Amino acid sequence: MVRGRGARSSLSQGTQSTKKAAGRGNSSPLVASAASGSHRTQKSTASCNGCGMAVHDDTKALQCDRCASPDVWKCATCLHLSGDMYDLLVSDSSVPLRWFCHSCEHEVMTRNTGSNQPSGQNDKIEQLISVIEKLMNRYETIERKIEDKCDVTAAMQLDMRISTLEEKMRKYDSELESRLVSIEDQLKMKSDGPATEKMGDNAISDEEMIKFVVQVELNRKTEEERDIESRKRNIIIYRVPEKKMENVADRKASDMTFVKDLLDGVFDVKVEEADIEKMYRLGRWTEDKCRPLLVAFKNGELKDHIMANLRNLKQPIPRFKGISVAHDLHPKEREEIKLLVEEAKQNHASNACDDDDVGNYRFIVVGKGPRRKIIKIKKTNNAQ
């Protein structure tokens, strides 16, 4: 094989062929003359860049596909090419394989591989990052605007609370007015009697009587608020087994042991007798029923922790099965809760379908004070 094909291509067409062969056997006279013409000097001096072997007409070697330099060749042995592979590369120009010399390969890789990603892809990534940053800035702006506006749900809840407070105030005013009227009637009845003539200058004026009535009402309200405040640290435990003992001290010791075990095993709270301010059964003792057990803690955080983890009572501990815990509510609070439940049932009955009976639901009051609200839960087959 001769290399005249590769030399002639570099003179006439530059890098037209991607595979530069050292030559082809049975070459034509034109190829031989082109190879022996002005490039005779290159033919005699060309050698393999790998092993240094001289590249002759019958040497299997490839020329650099990029620079097509007459001095840049590499033999098939250094390229680890078999004879069949070499013949395929030389004869078929459609094979998408190229061989670059060391300098061309370094230049191409340096120019096209500035990082792990192609330059065009890096540009796209930078554009995407820029777009994302703009979207984030716009999102933050919208979020700030939304925060400045009043939440519709919060406004509705606030309006409902205000309506509830107004209703309570009207109720209190009505009660106070009825009490004042009753006291006035009693005073009139006393003033019309014979004792009024004897009182003379010692009679109580209307102004003083009104002050007295207002003070009595304020004292009642204050006492009521104190009672409500004192109950905030209390819980009532239902269905606690009550020992049938006539000795009161023994029954209290048994209750104390049960409460300690309950709080430790179910609520993971270890208490001592010093942590409990008072503990007693509600109602008179009888042999045929278990009275509710009231427990008052010195620290309100203990009570809050227990009420926040009532779901733990569903644990399969046989000893505490059927036990329930509730708040110690003032009679006034119990009446308010009763009214809330009745109102919720009436609203459900007026808005529900005919087949959606109010008996299919449980109405539970959650929250404290003015934050109380009703939760409606559909009863399951087991609950029914």
User: How far is the C-alpha of 79 from the C-alpha of 19, rounded, in Å?
Assistant: 13
CA neighbor of 289 nearest in space, from 281, 278, 297:
281
Question: Poorest-confidence range of 59-73, 156-170, 261-275?
Answer: 156-170
Q: How far apart are CA 258 and CA 97, in angstroms?
A: 87
- 122-137 pLDDT tens trace: 678 878 888 888 888 8
Model pLDDT, residue 381: 61
Helix (H, G, I), strand (E, B) or coil at 375: strand
Q: If you average pLDDT over residues 148-154, what whole number do you get?
A: 66
Of 207 and 26, more confident? 207
Tell me the whole-structure pTM to 2 decimals.
Answer: 0.42
**For the chain, domain boundaries:** 4-112, 117-149, 155-193+205-226, 231-328, 332-378
How do strand 20-21 and strand 61-63 relate by DSSP bridges? antiparallel
pLDDT tens for 340-361 read 888 888 888 887 776 677 778 8
Q: How far is Cα 175 from Cα 85, in angstroms, rounded to an integer?
A: 109
Q: Which residues pair with 279 in a beta bridge?
A: 295
Looking at mean pLDDT, say which of 125-139, 142-156, 188-202 comes out highest: 125-139
CB distance 27 to 4 below 8 Å:
yes
Strand ranges (E), 104-263: 234-238
Q: With beta carbons less than 8 A apart as the criterion, state whether 326 and 306 touch.
A: no
Q: Is the pLDDT of residue 257 over 90?
A: yes
Average pLDDT, the chain: 75
* Choice between 114 and 163, residue whose per-residue pLDDT is larger: 163
Task: Please give the CATH topology (third level) of the domain spanning 231-328.
Answer: Alpha-Beta Plaits (3.30.70)
CATH 3.40.50.2300 fits 4-112, yes or no: no
In the predicted model, is pLDDT for residue 50 greater than 80?
Answer: yes
pLDDT of residue 4: 30
SS3 381: coil
Least confident of 71-75, 198-202, 331-335: 198-202
268: left (phi over 0), alpha (psi -120 to 50) or beta: left
Q: Please say if the pLDDT value at position 13 is more than 50.
A: no
List the 73-75 sheet strands across, edge first. Answer: 20-21, 61-63, 73-75
Q: Which of 43-52, 216-225, 284-293 has the lowest mean pLDDT?
A: 43-52
Average pLDDT over residues 309-315: 87
Q: What is the mean pLDDT of residues 323-348?
A: 86
